[in-house]
Amino acid sequence: MRVVILTPNKRLLDLSGVTELYLPIENGVIGVLPGHAPMVSAVGTGVVIYTLNDSSGFFKVAGGVAEITGGSVNLLVDVGEEASQIDFDRAQKSLERAQGRLSDKASENIDVKRAEAARLRALARLEAAELYRGKNSQDKKSV
């Protein structure tokens, strides 16, 4: 099937021949195989995982809309980032900042929803980066 990931600023992915796809939706994760029933869903914050030619790819996404047909998946996301481009240390610091804001919420006037959204985005970035790192270490071991 064809998978396209678009942000308002650029096309992140446009691949044909994808054999499976997992994407975050508002209430969990959905798996999509070729021939999937048509549907439209809100995209949550998390990691998109796809398989093409027995190799996996990973993207961090947050917000947007997924359109699924039998032969294609179009993800129109607010924010997206390829896992190979994620700075792991920066994502870890973002998570620490968000967790710090949440733990200090009694002493400060902070926007709890915004801090929680930042925490979820940082967790998704870290998860995508770890999946990418793990895939690359597996590839190096098999060479």
DSSP 36: P
Regarding the domain delimited by 2-84, which CATH topology (the fold level of the hierarchy) does it fall under?
Answer: ATP Synthase; domain 1 (2.60.15)
Q: What is the pTM of this model?
A: 0.82
Q: What is the mean pLDDT of the chain?
A: 89
The Cα 131–Cα 136 span in angstroms is: 9
3-state secondary structure of 106: coil
Q: What confidence score (pLDDT) does residue 37 get?
A: 95
Q: Where in the chain is the domain with CATH 2.60.15.10?
A: 2-84
Q: Where in the chain is the domain with CATH 1.20.5?
A: 86-141
Q: What confidence score (pLDDT) does residue 108 get?
A: 60
| Token pair in block for residue 97 | 């900042």
Helical spans, DSSP H, in the chain: 88-103, 112-141
Q: Is the pLDDT of residue 33 over 70?
A: yes
Given 1.20.1250, 2.40.160, 3.90.120, 1.20.5, which CATH number is that of 86-141? Answer: 1.20.5
